[in-house]
Amino acid sequence: MNEAPLDQRTKNGFVGQPSVGERARSVSRMLDASRRGWLSLGLPAKLLLLTSGFVMLAEVLIFVPSVANYRIAWLSDRLTAAQVASLAAEAVPGGDVPPKVRAELLRTAQVKAVAVRRDGRRRVVLPADEPMAIDAHYDLRPRDEGFLGGISLRLALIGDAFATFIYGDTRTIRVIGPVGDNPEDFIEIVIPEVPLKKVMVRYGLNILGLSIMISLITAALVYLALSYLLVQPMMRITRNMVRFSQNPEDPERIIAPSGRHDEIGTAERELARMQRELSQLFLQKNRLAQLGLAVSKINHDLRNMLANAQLISDRLTDIPDATVQRFAPKLIASLDRAINFCNDSLKFGRAEEAAPRRELMRLRPMVDEVADGLGLPREGVIEWSVDIEDTLRIDADREHLFRVLSNLVRNAVQALEGLEAEGRSSPGHVSVRAWREGRRVSLEVRDNGPGVPPKARENLFRAFQGGMRKGGTGLGLAIAAELIAAHGGRLQLLETDRGAAFLIELPDRSTVA
């Protein structure tokens, strides 16, 4: 093959070889792909992989020390066999062991040489046939290392076992072990490490096979248990959530709790509760949408009728009758207010409530106008009292505040009328009082009626959920609270022993002196 021309080579290699940056980007893409692959696995697959991995890790943590202990046991057996051989050699008269007997003793003990130290004297009992180079020394005599020393010794034994696996084919080792009860006496042997490596490999393979079998059985049992206890219930919850999201209005898709009393059971019950609430909200949304469409149609026709009534009422101002002249302005104002209310109702349905056009005005005339519009007081039926200074002024939108006051007073009147229909003997009472504290005006509307039912208190200012009387929608209080909140104020229900009391708190604008 011809060599590429020199001008086709680059500093980093031949033309077409990826640069360092390209290799880094390639590695990054591979890592991203592996992460995406792991994240894309299902919960059962992740559980199976994690269970198998952790069980295998536990087996490895057991396997390594067991191999190290097996190595020590095998070397101890060689020391014991060598000690028996040394006793046999020392029993020979004159201590001169024949070569054949010496060779047989060394072969039986599976060692190359044996030396013993007794009574302060070391002696080679069974010498080797030829001189040998010693590659490693190991001392198996017991010694007190303490807790940390024991851990260090264990780690050293594990390292020695790995060294046998790596270098055992070529090494000759010297091993020292105890003899009798005297710590000064010992026996030492010289052996090739090849037999030790072979038995360690065979033992390791047996342990590895057994570990794999135990791991598979354990992983399968753990997987089945966790799958039954956790994965399958979670998959059931997940499937139900997906199915419910496709049609939340279908009550048949709400999950049926399994009756468990653990965290899974709690999750099922809470999910069922949320699904029921969400299903009701969707049904309510559809009903409200249909109601809004009907109201918009009615509102359109009602505005036309009110406009005609307004044209007719304008002519009443030309009649010179004193009574007509007295009530005509109020009638015209009421019609104007009704037309504006129709327009504002459509804006509320489109979430476009007009921003308040605030002005500093006297509060007492507006309260009197609300009372006149509702026919208060009613002799013998409803008493009416006002505790407001004539000079008290409030910073608010005139139309918005009139709507709020009208709604609160009307609710009080309707509650008292209900008691009258039930045969109440004493007259009802509605009172309005207001006072200023610094840059804030507080206004209280109170009655001695039946009060607000406990069920209505939970959703008092939520449309279509907080009706105070049977058949009520709760829309009036919801609109009132929204109008007051648009002023930066607050509408709240006060705790009372009897009847109902609402408190309006309206702060002045920062620009009002």
Q: What is the pLDDT of residues 67-114, one digit of tens each?
A: 889 999 999 999 999 989 888 888 887 667 888 888 888 888 889 999
Greater confidence, 79 or 51? 79
pLDDT computed for residue 10 by the predictor? 38
Give the pLDDT band (50/70/90) at residue 5: very low
pLDDT computed for residue 12 by the predictor? 43
Overall average pLDDT of the 21-35 stretch = 57
Dihedral sign of CA atoms 198, 199, 204, 206 in order: positive
pLDDT value at 359 more than 90: yes
Please give, one letter per residue, the 3-state secondary structure of 329-393. HHHHHHHHHHHHHHHHHHHHHCCCCCCCCEEEEECHHHHHHHHHHHCCCECCCEEEEEECCCCCE
Q: Encoding tokens for residue 101?
A: 């007997």
| Residue position matching structure tokens 């009655």 | 447
pLDDT computed for residue 3 by the predictor? 41
Overall average pLDDT of the 142-169 stretch = 81
pLDDT value at 512 more than 70: no
pLDDT value at 285 more than 60: yes
pLDDT computed for residue 484 by the predictor? 94
Pairing of strands 428-437, 382-387: parallel
C-beta separation of 445 from 510 below 8 A:
no
463 dihedral zone (left: phi>0; alpha: psi -120 to 50; beta): beta
pLDDT computed for residue 224 by the predictor? 85
pLDDT value at 363 more than 80: yes
C-beta separation of 52 from 219 below 8 A:
yes
C-alpha 124: how far from chain center = 73
Overall average pLDDT of the 359-371 stretch = 93
Pairing of strands 172-178, 136-139: parallel
Which range, 63-67, 282-286, 394-398, has the best average confidence (pLDDT)? 394-398
Overall average pLDDT of the 366-383 stretch = 88
Q: Encoding tokens for residue 377?
A: 């007081």
pLDDT value at 4 more than 50: no
Q: Mind giving me the DSSP string for 136-188?
A: EEEE------HHHHHHHHHHHHHHHHHHHHHHTTT-EEEEEEE-SS-TT-EEE
pLDDT value at 31 more than 60: no
Amino acid (1-letter code) at residue 480:
A
Overall average pLDDT of the 188-215 stretch = 88
pLDDT computed for residue 350 by the predictor? 57
pLDDT computed for residue 122 by the predictor? 87
pLDDT computed for residue 9 by the predictor? 38
pLDDT computed for residue 393 by the predictor? 95
C-beta separation of 420 from 381 below 8 A:
yes
pLDDT computed for residue 474 by the predictor? 64
pLDDT computed for residue 22 by the predictor? 60
Overall average pLDDT of the 280-287 stretch = 83
Burial 153-165, CB ≥16 within 10 A → b, else e = eeeebbebbeebe
pLDDT value at 23 more than 70: no
- Which of 125-139, 217-231, 287-301, 399-413 bottoms out in mean pLDDT, i.e. has the lowest? 287-301
- Which of 52-56, 198-202, 411-415 bottoms out in mean pLDDT, i.e. has the lowest? 52-56
Q: What is the pLDDT of residues 165-197, one digit of tens each?
A: 888 888 999 999 998 878 888 999 999 999 999
Q: Encoding tokens for residue 9?
A: 């080579």
Q: What is the mean pLDDT of the chain?
A: 81
Nearest to 165 by CA among 61, 67, 62: 67
Please tell me the total number of residues recorded for the chain in this structure.
Answer: 513
pLDDT computed for residue 40 by the predictor? 60
pLDDT value at 126 more than 50: yes
pLDDT computed for residue 353 by the predictor? 59
- Which of 80-89, 123-132, 313-322, 448-457 bottoms out in mean pLDDT, i.e. has the lowest? 313-322
Overall average pLDDT of the 196-201 stretch = 92
Nearest to 441 by CA among 384, 488, 372: 488
pLDDT computed for residue 433 by the predictor? 96
pLDDT value at 19 more than 90: no
Q: What is the pLDDT of residues 217-242, one digit of tens each?
A: 887 888 888 888 888 888 899 899 99
pLDDT value at 7 more than 50: no
The Cα-based distances of 367 to 344, 363, 389, 477 in angstroms read: 22, 7, 12, 18
Global confidence as pTM: 0.45
